[in-house]
Amino acid sequence: MDMDTDENSNAKGKEGQGKLIMVILVGAPGSGKSTFCELVMGSSSRPWVRICQDTIGNGKSGTRAQCLKTATSALNDGKSVFVDRCNLEIEQRADFVKLGGPQVDVHAVVLDLPAQLCISRSVKRTGHEGNLSGGKAAAVVNKMLQKKELPKLNEGFTRITFCHNESDVLSAIDMYKSLDLHTMLPHGCFGQKNPDKKVQLGITKFLKKAEKPSKTCSSANTDKNSPTPQPTQEKRESCGKKEESSCTMSRNVAMESEKGESPGIRSLKDKISQSDPPTLAFPSISTSDFKFSHEKAAEIIVEKVEEFMDKLGNARLVLVDLSHGSKILSMVKAKATEKNISSTKFFTFVGDITKLNSEGGLRCNVIANAANWRLKPGGGGVNAAIFSAAGSGLEVATKQQANSLQPGNAVAVQLPSTSPLLNREGVTHVIHVLGPNMNPQRPNYLNNDYDEGCKLLGNAYSSLFQAFISIVQDKYKSVKGIHECLGSTPPELQKHSEDGHHKFKRENLQNLERSKKWKGSQNSTEGLNQNNNTVPKKSKHWGSWAQALYDTAMHPERHTNSVLETSDDVVVLYDIYPKARKHLLVVARHEGLDQLADVCTEHLPLLRTMHAMGLKWINKFFREDGPLVFRLGYHSAPSMRQLHLHVISQDFDSSHLKNKKHWNSFNTDFFRDSVIVINEVSSHGKANIMDDESLMSMELRCNRCRSAHPNLPKLKAHISKCQAPFPSTLLEGGRLVVEPSNAPLS
């Protein structure tokens, strides 16, 4: 059933009643969700309905859809709701969050109790509604906790309460008991611990250990007359190259530590302590001091945000204001929506800009200050609040950067390690920015020249966003440098991580000749130069998990249960994790064709055979399943070894379509259409490979109308209803197959 926000915002309470509340309980089996509901409902004056998936089907286990339907009905009846499910993953919560609206606040209560306690309770209990008890409970709890994704406000919650022990749980129960028909709880994030504290402590210990030169290294450089014992020849030889590398690393880090902690190490600590994308929180500039029209200011903000969207990478911009009734926030949000600006890269937020993490659960490593021209504390508003929250160190650090600021400009200041704003909120930099001035008592008075004021305001936002991008880029370089020094690879520098069949694992390329070459490759221009000297090809190392398609192609007789059709050139099988209603793979049976990059002119007949086989199966689907739209193509850099063609319907109706990378791998230039590949190989001898990591992090856009959506659940809800025609670029050249076709390829 379709349940979007607009439909469910019509839920109305009883006459005279305040807003309704839907509480989504988040916790593993045994965390006490059902007990929480019973204790609140037993003594609350507010009418509650508990929705439990274990009993939703007339006392038996049911489905999420049944829970959603019952929740909608309860809200329409004016009753508040407890959603008693585990809800440990974002996708599991998303449809329930959509039920919120003007008349319904959506809360999360996170029962984040120790795993051992949850397991102990689950194992010991009897008569559980979901029959989860005894020995199997431990395995279930462990498996669920491995997938745990703690909720965040940007999912759509108005309030999140974290409970880390039984005392926290009792306090939360008392709080919800006390709610009557009219009282509401304040919005924000409460009780969250720093999720990265242990990680940060761990890396700090590791870095300290690395900063201390090893004994072997020290003794090796000791004078002959030193009383320090020298290592024996046998021990020195046993160290080998590994110890030499370790000593060199230790010396390099130690040299940095003599000068104080290096920027690279500080950046690494910062990076590890922040799991969220780099984020800039900024207030509206000059809308009060400049008496600027909110309408015009909103236009300028959105115009500049849109201008910088492509430069942000995975970074985010957040416009912040203290008031829920803020005109500038509502106007900017509306204009950003009109322009289809991705709400994952830019959104608005209500809260104190100096307490966004501790009170709002929004982690921002950079904040902007609407500064005065002297770059001094004092005055009021944001400037005074930021200087006060950051401590005296901010004023000192600012003075080292600049003594004053011209309108339309910005200056970035790194906070000292002693700053309370850094240690409490995780803010590493403050960017001072100065807007246009209409006050005759201050320098650069514009004398009511609003045209010049608009120009300066635009310059101010441009300077602010550019300064933020520079901070992110510098931080990235520092992290890369320190990891190279420590002999490791930072996670954000790896293209993708392995996570099942279609996540994009990228392992190191090695300068080795391919051990198996396709027939006739000795004549390939890639393999030989004019002097007949072999040019080594870079080959990808495939993990054991990525060999499944190769094994199927080479030995289809071993996989009769999964193979649909076999010929001398190809095998056909269903994708084991389909991303749409119909999703086939046509796999080449030629040795040495691991991926699209291996294809050359001599493989044109094979490419045409693979395409024709795909069309054959599409025609079969047309006869059996009625109207569907298909696309045939290759991933630029596949996660599975052996060249394979995807034949995929464009409904993308699948539970296996779970994240942005899944979607973008089929709906960006990363997906190379079969007809385009054949034309490229025919004309140029090879296919263009679009293996750019940024393609995987692009905003989510509908494959029909190209509208942007903040997350995958919302995109899925949209595409299930979207009837817009496909873009003309896809309708050209046979990239989409919309009706049966046996036409041969030219």
CATH number, domain containing residue 287 = 3.40.50
Are residue 310 and residue 401 in the same domain, yes or no?
yes
For 626-657, the pLDDT digits (tens) are 789 999 999 999 989 999 999 999 999 999 99
Q: Flag whether pLDDT at 478 surpasses 70.
A: no
Q: Flag whether pLDDT at 480 surpasses 50.
A: no
CATH number, domain containing residue 166 = 3.40.50.300
| Residue where a domain stops, chosen among 190, 214, 232 | 190
Q: Flag whether pLDDT at 374 surpasses 80.
A: yes
Are residue 425 and residue 299 in the same domain, yes or no?
yes
Are residue 343 and residue 433 in the same domain, yes or no?
yes
Cα–Cα dist 631/616, whole Å: 13
Does any domain span residue 200?
A: no
Q: What is the mean pLDDT of the chain?
A: 77
For 528-566, the pLDDT digits (tens) are 333 333 333 445 557 666 788 998 999 999 888 889 999
Poorest-confidence range of 116-130, 333-347, 349-363?
Answer: 116-130
Are residue 128 and residue 35 in the same domain, yes or no?
yes
Q: Flag whether pLDDT at 523 surpasses 90.
A: no
Q: Where would I find the H helices in 487-558? A: 548-554
pTM equals 0.37
| Residue where a domain stops, chosen among 163, 190, 217 | 190
Does any domain span residue 285?
A: yes
**Mapped to the 3 state alphabet, what secondary structure does 607-660 carry?**
HHHHHHHHHHHHHHHHHHHCCCCEEEEEECCCCCCCCEEEEEECCCCCCCCCCH
Does any domain span residue 312?
A: yes
pLDDT band at 287 (very low <50, low <70, confident <90, very high): low
Higher pLDDT, 373 or 464: 464
Does any domain span residue 533?
A: no
Structure tokens at 52: 């439990």
If phi > 0 it is left, if psi is from -120 to 50 it is alpha, else beta; for residue 738 that is alpha
- Please list the helix, strand and coil fractions of the chain in percent, rounded to the nearest 5, in that order: 40, 15, 45
Higher pLDDT, 492 or 176: 176
Cα–Cα dist 45/3, whole Å: 29
Are residue 68 and residue 164 in the same domain, yes or no?
yes
- Give the number of domains in the chain: 3
Are residue 612 and residue 467 in the same domain, yes or no?
no
pLDDT band at 207 (very low <50, low <70, confident <90, very high): very low
Q: Are strands 509-510 and 539-540 parallel, antiparallel or unpaired?
A: antiparallel
Average pLDDT over residues 91-119: 90
Q: Flag whether pLDDT at 520 surpasses 80.
A: no
Does any domain span residue 592?
A: yes
> Which of 432, 644, 646, 709 is the catalytic position?
644
Are residue 582 and residue 450 in the same domain, yes or no?
no
Does any domain span residue 707?
A: yes
pLDDT at 131: 57
pLDDT band at 441 (very low <50, low <70, confident <90, very high): low
For 49-61, the pLDDT digits (tens) are 999 988 888 778 8
Distances (CA, A) of 10 to 77, 204, 417: 11, 52, 49
For 587-619, the pLDDT digits (tens) are 999 988 999 999 999 999 999 999 999 999 999
Are residue 474 and residue 546 in the same domain, yes or no?
no
pLDDT band at 132 (very low <50, low <70, confident <90, very high): low
Range of the domain at 142: 5-190
The answer to whether 432 is a known catalytic residue is no
| Residue where a domain stops, chosen among 143, 167, 190 | 190
Does any domain span residue 326?
A: yes
pLDDT band at 217 (very low <50, low <70, confident <90, very high): very low
For 442-456, the pLDDT digits (tens) are 677 777 777 888 888
pLDDT at 286: 74
Are residue 135 and residue 36 in the same domain, yes or no?
yes
Q: Flag whether pLDDT at 712 surpasses 60.
A: yes
Are residue 285 and residue 142 in the same domain, yes or no?
no
CATH number, domain containing residue 570 = 3.30.428.10
Distances (CA, A) of 715 to 91, 157, 202, 721: 12, 18, 38, 10
If phi > 0 it is left, if psi is from -120 to 50 it is alpha, else beta; for residue 200 that is alpha
pLDDT band at 575 (very low <50, low <70, confident <90, very high): very high
Are residue 474 and residue 327 in the same domain, yes or no?
yes
Location of structure tokens 């409490």: 424
Does any domain span residue 92?
A: yes
Q: Flag whether pLDDT at 72 surpasses 80.
A: yes
Q: How many CB atoms neighbour CB 414 within 10 A? A: 19
Are residue 556 and residue 692 in the same domain, yes or no?
yes
Q: Flag whether pLDDT at 272 surpasses 90.
A: no
